[in-house]
């Protein structure tokens, strides 16, 4: 074996990369001195791209396939080195394999709540989280803008930056969408597509794309969620009176035992009913033709109590007599102004002419009799 054949055998002639880590985005092919044999075989598998960097300058990008590293398929390298077709000495270059498959199930989420103005709740805050997928679409740009000279670049080194971009665009899209919080669950697909479309121009500058973005959950602050749950519970209960009657009948059917919560609920319901009935009883009733209470006729006062009288004559009392009896007696002369009379509540015996109620009996004369 000649010395040239010995030296030629020291240089690598097969270049390839198999990845089983599932999180490596870029891997640099390592060889001491970065010496690559002219005419070596380069294997680029599906989901990969190979980027040649020569003396710090990006030279070529190879897509999936099998290549013989010669001047006829390396025009840029040839122009950089001024090789002729007969020159077959080893050359020194760095080869970076770029994973062009999708990296899926990457997480994103809002670190702090997002302020927005909801049409129904007013100013409120929401949080959101979900997953997304990213993919290298321009290996050369990704290498120059992000990776640099990193020999092994993983997805964790770029996902943090992408998450920040997603949260920024999500905040802007949600705040300007005008979608009510209660309707966001029905529009997560459209919102996710809207955010992905807004993010793609930004990450395209890094040689990346965002083919998928999913919103898994949008949540309100705990206090707002609690109030919303209470409001929903009231809506499901429906008519409180009917609900309490049903629960009471159901409990009695099971033996008449009510738990504490039902007892309290029934007490509250019956209390409300009693209060309502008492309030109606306290209100004035309407008039006979539907008139308002203020317009209804005032009820007449009760009739006065008629007194009964006693008469004192010759040391004896007679009676009791009604006022009508005394009127007839005054007409016949049996009762005069000087006759002593007494009734309940009167202070002792008094002459009939001195009692105001009886004095008129002596002044009213009957009308003249009708003609014959």
pLDDT of residue 14: 84
Please indicate, yes or no, whether the overall pTM of this predicted structure exceeds 0.95.
no
64 secondary structure, DSSP code: S
pLDDT at 360 over 50: yes
CA distance 72 to 77: 10
Q: What class is the 103-222 domain?
A: alpha beta
Q: What number is the average pLDDT over the span 48-64? A: 86
| Greater model confidence, 121 or 212 | 212
Of the pLDDT bands very low, low, confident and very high (cuts 50, 70, 90), residue 47 is very high
What is the CB-side half-sphere exposure of residue 358 using CA atoms within 13 A? 31
Q: What are the tokens at 105?
A: 């199930």
Over residues 250-294, the pLDDT tens digits come to 777 766 544 555 455 545 554 555 555 555 555 555 554 455 554
Task: Check whether the bond before 320 is cis (ω within 30° of 0).
Answer: yes
What is the CB-side half-sphere exposure of residue 364 using CA atoms within 13 A? 10
pLDDT of residue 371: 76
Instruction: Please state, in angstroms and as integers, the Cα–Cα distance from residue 122 to each residue in 126, 181, 230, 354, following that order.
Output: 12, 10, 18, 85
| Greater model confidence, 61 or 70 | 61
Q: What are the tokens at 352?
A: 């009939």
Cα 308 vs. chain centroid, distance in angstroms?
81
pLDDT at 9 over 50: no
Look at residues 135, 145, 134 and name the one whose alpha carbon lies nearest to residue 58: 145
Q: What are the tokens at 181?
A: 């919080």
In the block, residue with structure tokens 């598998």: 45
**Contact of 15 with 41, CB cutoff 8 Å:** yes
**Contact of 180 with 123, CB cutoff 8 Å:** no
Burial 78-88 (b: 16+ CB within 10 A, else e): bebbebeeeee
Residues with Cβ within 8 Å of residue 107, at least 6 apart in sequence: 129, 130, 131, 163
The bridge status of strand 35-44 relative to strand 12-15 is: parallel
- The domains of the chain are located at 3-99, 103-222, 309-362
With pLDDT > 70 as the criterion, what percentage of the chain qualifies? 72
Which CATH code for domain 309-362? Answer: 3.30.1490
Instruction: Please state, in angstroms and as integers, the Cα–Cα distance from residue 210 to each residue in 23, 239, 287, 293, following that order.
Output: 16, 50, 77, 74
What is the residue-wise DSSP string for 197-233?
HHHHHHHGGGTEEEEEEEEEEEE--HHHHHHHHHHHH
**Contact of 175 with 218, CB cutoff 8 Å:** no
Q: What are the tokens at 215?
A: 């919103």
CA distance 163 to 109: 7
Q: What number is the average pLDDT over the span 6-30? A: 75
| Greater model confidence, 81 or 225 | 225
């Amino acid at each position: 074996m000649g010395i040239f054949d010995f030296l030629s055998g020291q240089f690598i002639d097969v270049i390839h990369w198999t990845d089983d880590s599932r999180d490596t985005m870029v891997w640099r092919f390592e060889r001491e001195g970065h010496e690559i044999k002219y005419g070596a075989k380069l294997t680029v598998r599906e989901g990969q791209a190979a980027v040649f960097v020569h003396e710090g300058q990006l030279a070529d990008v190879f897509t999936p396939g099998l290549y013989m590293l010669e001047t006829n398929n390396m025009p840029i390298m040839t122009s950089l080195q001024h090789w002729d077709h007969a020159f077959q000495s080893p050359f020194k270059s760095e080869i970076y394999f770029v994973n062009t498959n999708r990296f899926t199930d990457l997480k994103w989420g809002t670190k702090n709540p997002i302020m927005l103005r909801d049409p129904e709740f007013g100013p409120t805050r929401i949080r959101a989280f979900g997953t997304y997928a990213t993919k290298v679409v321009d290996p050369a740009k990704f290498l120059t803008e992000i990776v640099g000279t990193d020999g092994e670049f993983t997805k964790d080194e770029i996902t943090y930056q992408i998450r920040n971009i997603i949260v920024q665009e999500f905040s802007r899209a949600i705040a300007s969408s005008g979608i009510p919080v209660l309707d966001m669950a029905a529009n997560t697909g459209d919102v996710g597509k809207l955010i992905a479309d807004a993010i793609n121009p930004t990450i395209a500058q890094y040689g990346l794309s965002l083919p998928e973005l999913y919103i898994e959950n949008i949540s309100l602050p705990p206090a707002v969620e609690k109030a919303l749950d209470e409001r929903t519970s009231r809506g499901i209960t429906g008519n409180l009176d009917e609900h309490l009657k049903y629960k009471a009948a159901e409990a009695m059917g099971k033996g008449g035992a009510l738990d504490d919560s039902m007892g309290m609920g029934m007490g509250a319901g019956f209390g409300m009913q009693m209060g309502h009935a008492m309030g109606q009883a306290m209100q004035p009733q309407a008039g006979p033709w539907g008139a308002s209470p203020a317009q209804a006729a005032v009820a007449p006062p009760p009739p006065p109590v008629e007194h009964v009288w006693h008469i004192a004559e010759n040391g004896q009392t007679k009676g009791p007599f009604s006022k009508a009896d005394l009127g007839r007696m005054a007409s016949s002369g049996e009762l005069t102004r000087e006759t002593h009379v007494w009734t309940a509540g009167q202070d002792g015996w008094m002459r009939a002419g001195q009692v105001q109620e009886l004095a008129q009996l002596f002044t009213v004369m009957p009308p003249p009799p009708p003609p014959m």
